[in-house]
Structure 1
């Protein structure tokens, strides 16, 4: 499995170098393309949450799967409601949680329980700090569109951002300690890929490429391996079959939301809101599910 992840990172690293060469990509957001990629590749990696939910229900001796669906939907809907009421606070929490989530899930294949959650947070924080460093104005404009104005904050000063990026680098070093050269190289390539994307591309496009082609695909590989540990190809095919229904359903809900938001906002602003508010509503229940499942499996072992 580590070999697959290594070659995936190698391909992604070269893909990022290739993308950085196109001036058209450097000068455009391509928001419609970003939305399409997130609705297809991006959200698909969470499309098996219902299967994980059934595992938790089984552990807790609940027979009704409707309990999981109701709770999952309620958490997602609550996030949207809270965003409408307390957008600044919720976006801040989302950025912090997302940093941990990206750092943790992008490193899960290493299977090292000794690293603290703080290490994963610092590793994943690069996704937030890199666009702020390289495209501060555009990133702040995205935040303002989401009712989150941090333009006067000391935390977005270049000095602070450089420090955070250095810490993120050392978090990768710590994770790779006593690991094989392939893993060390993989983490370094991922780190450089994210920097390349955010240096050359606009923030939303850079995030989309990372989210869809690195984060989502890596997690999909993990799920495929869990579905069939003996044959990865068969596991991946099974993953695709199981993921398609919920991916389509979620994509439809995103598009319906976009339709209504576009009545009140320009299309670009509406797409930004759908992407980030939608991802927040999916990320929180997804992370909670992963946390409870991991906690229960750890206790059982």
Structure 2
């Protein structure tokens, strides 16, 4: 696997430092954080997932509009099954979402030794719970029943302790691990300590994960301009769909705006992450065998 370029590490450090400084001055409440989440995920987060169609077109011979339609139907069908699962069993769906998100996010350190992949993957979802367990529990309460939200938040906090001890132990025992991956994960922990959980997620998801995946995908795609415009178009359609979903949620159940946004963004991300993760795993295995 080709190593990630150094500028991504420095971008993440700069974004984290800027967020800590800005949020320390502004101190947004939960509603303001929810709007920040929507704006930044829409602009910087969604395009990396919207590259899935160009990736699929290179992986398989999706000839003409019929091939594209078959892929899109399968992709959205998987996402729909995830939504149904969340409606039927929200507690189990939340646990599954966090578990596969950890595995998916660990690929941000795919060029690093296994210990750093796993400490990073766990930290991305568990670090905020270690320092802000009650806030994490409140957010989870929008996504699942309180009987599930509390034990999941507590379990994540315990995983966070394990990931932090694992990272510190690995760095203490092996000097060869003290590189950019360790610096990025150290920055993750600083962000988790200093920022509210939603803002932490925004910084990590937009300034490291999305940037890293989108750069890798564009480097591997031959027609970068078409891929980029396709990503912009699909991101716009996703934002419109999310807006419609938010209005339907509010119409069927008059809940708070942060509750509505949390349901729309996180459950929507969960639904889209499953087919995205399956495709990205195939893409990364293919990219290792056929480097650009």
**TM-score normalized by the length of structure 2:** 0.82
Shift of 1:222: 1.9
Is contact 1:99-1:128 (8 Å) kept?
Answer: yes
Where does residue 124 of structure 1 map in the other structure?
Answer: 121
Is contact 1:45-1:220 (8 Å) kept?
Answer: yes
Where does residue 231 of structure 1 map in the other structure?
Answer: none
Change (3 A) 1:170 1:292: farther
Q: When you count helix as a share of all residues, which structure comes out higher? A: 2
RMSD: 3.3
Cα distance in 2 for partners of 1:96, 1:168 equals: 19
Where does residue 260 of structure 1 map in the other structure?
Answer: 248
Change (3 A) 1:131 1:7: closer
> Aligned pairs, how many?
282
Shift of 1:159: 5.8
Q: Deviations over 1:211-247 (max 9, x none)?
A: 112211222222232246xxxxx95x66543321011
Cα distance in 2 for partners of 1:19, 1:196 equals: 15
Cα distance in 1 for partners of 2:10, 2:160 equals: 30
Question: What is the 5 A alignment of 1:100-115?
Answer: 100-104=103-107, 106-108=108-110, 110=111, 115=113
Given candidates 186, 189, 192, the residue that maps to 1:195 is 189
Q: Does 1:208 align with 2:202?
A: yes
Where does residue 211 of structure 2 map in the other structure?
Answer: 217
User: Which segment drifts farther, 266-275 or 122-131?
Assistant: 122-131
Change (3 A) 1:292 1:15: same
Gaps of 5+ in 2: none
Change (3 A) 1:226 1:170: farther
Shift of 1:119: 5.4
Where does residue 165 of structure 2 map in the other structure?
Answer: 166
Shift of 1:31: 0.9
Shift of 1:140: 0.7
Shift of 1:279: 0.5
Where does residue 283 of structure 2 map in the other structure?
Answer: 293
